Amino acid sequence: MRDILTAPFVVEIIRTVTNMYNHGWDERNGGNVSLLLEEAEVKEYLNTEKVLRSLSTGFSAPELEGKYFLVTGTGKYFKNVQYAPDANLGIVRLTDGGKTAELLWGFTDGGRFTSEFPAHIMSHAARLKIDPGNRVVMHCHPTNLLAMTYIHSLDEREFTRTLWQMCTECIVVFPDGVNVLPWMLCGTNEIGEATAEKMKTARLVVWAQHGIYGAGKDLDETFGLIETAEKAAEIYVKIAGLPWENTITDEQMHQLEKHFGVRAREGYLS
Ligand code: 13P
Ligand code: ZN
């Protein structure tokens, strides 16, 4: 059996959460990440017959029965993951229709998966129906996106259009736009269900006055998706309240659609 600390998925998630912390998106225990793993890749490093603990999830997800996830722990600080991956991360397999998560590795100090596990698993289920290649769900608290939810309308079309107008590449990176949830209590099945519903039409879901969820095919791509939206929000926050002399017009956005072969969300451009 190979050393799990050398597994590309462990190395990559450590790099990613460290980078997220360094961007200031994950103060204290803020943020959580989950990565869907193939059984075959897990078996290279772990005896999948050996269940360390069985944890109740508090929800069901029958479509993800038997699936393996590498996930960050609740209350864990992203800045510490690189120094103690086996305490801050865990690998679980969903059983019992998703009601139970069997711990196969990690959470060595008796911990458990993120309190936002409902939002992660339900979002995985929603995105997999649209894109079978989706493997990552990522949540964090990027400063400028959060700030924007205090001063900008939460109307999804308006929110998306403002972000698209802030940098030329936004419409290319997230043509499906950004969906927005009003403030809700976090760590609940309700916010998980609401997030998953929003994930049906976009890979980015803002939680007003809290943070953002992103979904994608790998850690790099999902990080990049949030990074691009956060960059746009940073520009918005810098110019908020100032008169705009210029913008990116809808006509220019149509040129970008054509040139990069993307389709903007229906009805979002005039
Ligand atoms: P966890 O520590 O449970 O992952 O929660 C962090 C967070 O960002 C809650 O939304
Ligand atoms: Zn959060």
Ligand number with the minimum distance to the CA of 116? 1
Q: What confidence score (pLDDT) does residue 47 get?
A: 98
Mark whether 167 and 201 lie in a shared domain. Answer: yes
Mark whether 138 and 45 lie in a shared domain. Answer: no
Active site residue 12: no
Which amino acid residue places its CA nearest to atom 6 of ligand 1? 30
Mark whether 47 and 167 lie in a shared domain. Answer: no
Mark whether 253 and 182 lie in a shared domain. Answer: yes
Mark whether 100 and 120 lie in a shared domain. Answer: no
Domain end among 47, 80, 114: 114
Closest CA to 148 of 57, 257, 234: 234
Mark whether 138 and 101 lie in a shared domain. Answer: no
For residue 267, the CA-to-ligand 1 centroid distance in Å is: 34
Range of the domain at 58: 1-114
For residue 128, the CA-to-ligand 1 centroid distance in Å is: 23
Ligand number with the minimum distance to the CA of 78? 1
Regions of the chain short of the pLDDT cut 50: none
Q: What confidence score (pLDDT) does residue 250 get?
A: 98
Mark whether 137 and 100 lie in a shared domain. Answer: no
Closest atom of ligand 1 to 76 CA is: 2
Query: CA 267, 201, 148: angle at the middle one, nearest 5?
Result: 80
> Cβ(32) to ligand 1 under 6 A?
yes
Q: What confidence score (pLDDT) does residue 101 get?
A: 98
The CATH number of the domain holding residue 31 is 3.40.225.10
Distance from C-alpha of 173 to C-alpha of 216, rounded to nearest angstrom: 12
In the structure encoding, which two tokens stand for residue 5, read together?
Answer: 């600390």
pLDDT in tens, 88-142: 999 999 999 999 999 999 999 999 999 999 999 999 999 999 999 999 999 999 9
Mark whether 97 and 170 lie in a shared domain. Answer: no
Structural domain count of the chain:
2
Mark whether 246 and 134 lie in a shared domain. Answer: yes
